[in-house]
Amino acid sequence: MQNFYKYNVRYDEVDMDDCLKPEALLNFLQDVASVNANEKDFGSDFVFSHGLAWFLLKYRIEIYDYDKNIKDLEITTCSRGAAKLFAYRDFEVFQNEKMVARATSQWGLVDFNSKKMLQPLEVLNNIQVYEKREDDLKFDKIPDVTTPLKVCKFDVKYDDIDVNKHANNVRYLHWALETLDYDFRKTHEINTIDIYYKKEIAYGGKIISEMEFGEDKTYSIHRIKNADTDETLCSIKIGY
């Protein structure tokens, strides 16, 4: 069942061309996921009270059209249920009744104390079994960054941290986009975003963001890694 949520786009959520920022879109998706899951009694309010936490693993986002001067968006979301260790959630984004974006996401459920992943269907009562559909979005494979063209460094600051006590998932997209220069951003529209979250990082950590282009600059690939351990925290592929 789809649930509808309306959002007024604020001045700070659009870029210099008056188009919705990619980070703002992710913030909206994150918000509707949290609100809807709480309404269904398997959201953060419920899981935190039982010593559990949801964490985001993957996104596939397809952007079809963004008109300038966006003022209002309507976002629908539905839980697609769970299979084994993973749960799934879909989104559709509308502007003036026209679909401008779709997304799907994959989530894991973890025990705070043991850090062990749990099977949602064994722990939660209000979640159904996942069933595939013909029109499902598919998570794309993200190639490794092998020869970075641009490298940026960041400190994980206080405002990067969310209620799970580590960097919020939207920050990884921000760190990735910062490796793209002004002229490229001005002349290329984002069509797809694939994100694979692998490890978390806490306040005070240091980030290295690496980028290289794919064939004919039709996409860019990004590696966000822990500067101290060289571990990959997040892989991102952005299509243009």
> Which domains can be identified in the chain, with CATH numbers?
1-139 (3.10.129.10), 140-240 (3.10.129.10)
Span 199-216, average pLDDT: 96
pLDDT of residue 24: 95
* C-alpha to C-alpha distance for 162 and 231, rounded to whole angstroms: 21
Span 198-226, average pLDDT: 97
Inform me whether the pLDDT recorded for 193 exceeds 90.
yes
The first and second tokens of residue 172, run together, are 């990884």
Inform me whether the pLDDT recorded for 126 exceeds 70.
yes
Q: Please return the burial class of 226, using the count of CB atoms within 10 Å of its CB with bins 0-12, 13-18 and 19+.
A: middle
Span 55-83, average pLDDT: 91
Average pLDDT across the chain, whole number? 94
Span 93-108, average pLDDT: 94
**CB contact at 8 A, 167 and 156:** yes
* C-alpha to C-alpha distance for 223 and 192, rounded to whole angstroms: 17
Instruction: Report pTM.
Output: 0.95
Find the Cα–Cα–Cα–Cα dihedral 207, 208, 214, 218, rounded to 10°: 50
| DSSP element (H, E) containing 104 | strand 98-111
pLDDT of residue 89: 97
Confidence of residue 1 (pLDDT cuts 50, 70, 90): low
